[in-house]
Amino acid sequence: MKKRSVATGFAVTAVIAMVVATAYAAIVGSKKEGLVEYVGAQKDIFVSGKASSVVSLEDLAGQRGLYAIGPIDGLDGEITIFDSKPYITQVRDADYSLDTTLKHGAFFLVWSEQTKWRDVPVPATVKGYVDLQQFVKAEAQTAGIDVAKPFPFLLAGTPAEIKWHINVDRTEGKPITNELFVKSKQPFVTKNEAVDIIGFYSESHSGVFLSQYAPAIKEGSGMKNAIHLHHVSRTSKASGHIDDIALGENMVLRLPTP
């Protein structure tokens, strides 16, 4: 009986070790700061010339209240995970497809696990991308969030217009440069469509999980991009990276709470 108990104990220990190892493998190379976790960096692709996968979305399966955004490896689409449900869009011929599985990799990814949010009505004075960035920071400070560290936020409602894109490889096999990266985007416009938006705010992660270049911020304005936004439509398959936005009436900002 003792031998069997010892053997059983070893088996249980081995299973636990495997579970721990699997959980650890899921976050190898990732960093946690503030209320977010991330792996990879946008700027790395300009060093290597490649958009190689640094994480499989399947490694994040089973996480509750998961919100994540990033680009698919190989410049082949956009990743948006809203409350643990994936919305993966890829350009295919003259259209784009929507996949709701985790069978994809990312060349960088930022995420957060949040189940409690505080709603803040967005005033009519907040009209566009720059206004939104400033409003998010101000309201986060009011809510006691440390804005010196990255944090997630949500936005819900019906914007008047969203200009957005999906990455699509147009490098023709050449090493990725800034110019080819900008070229490898298929633009879209969505108007008066109810959406859920996931955003991440940071003043110190440009070129990591924030774009160094934001079309909505004019060059020479002295303002730096501090947000990364993705949207998920409630009425169509539209989902991707937001380049610019004109807000609508009665929109709601949601900030994480302890």
Beta strands in the chain (DSSP E): 31-33, 36-40, 55-56, 66-71, 78-82, 85-92, 95-99, 105-106, 108-113, 117-121, 151-157, 161-167, 185-191, 195-201, 227-233, 239-246, 252-256
Q: Which residue has the tokens 């020479």?
A: 220
Is residue 32 classed exposed, middle or buried when 0-12, 13-18 and 19+ CB atoms within 10 A define those classes? exposed
Task: Give me the mean pLDDT over the 201-230 stretch.
Answer: 93
Task: Give me the mean pLDDT over the 21-49 stretch.
Answer: 82
| pLDDT of the residue at 237 | 97
Nearest C-alpha neighbor of 158 from the set 129, 194, 191: 194
Query: Whole-number mean pLDDT of the chain?
Result: 91
pLDDT in tens, 131-173: 999 999 999 999 999 999 999 999 999 999 999 999 999 999 9
Minimum mean pLDDT range among 32-46, 86-100, 213-227: 213-227
Task: Give me the mean pLDDT over the 216-221 stretch.
Answer: 87
Is residue 123 classed exposed, middle or buried when 0-12, 13-18 and 19+ CB atoms within 10 A define those classes? exposed
Residue 20 banded pLDDT, cuts 50, 70, 90: very low
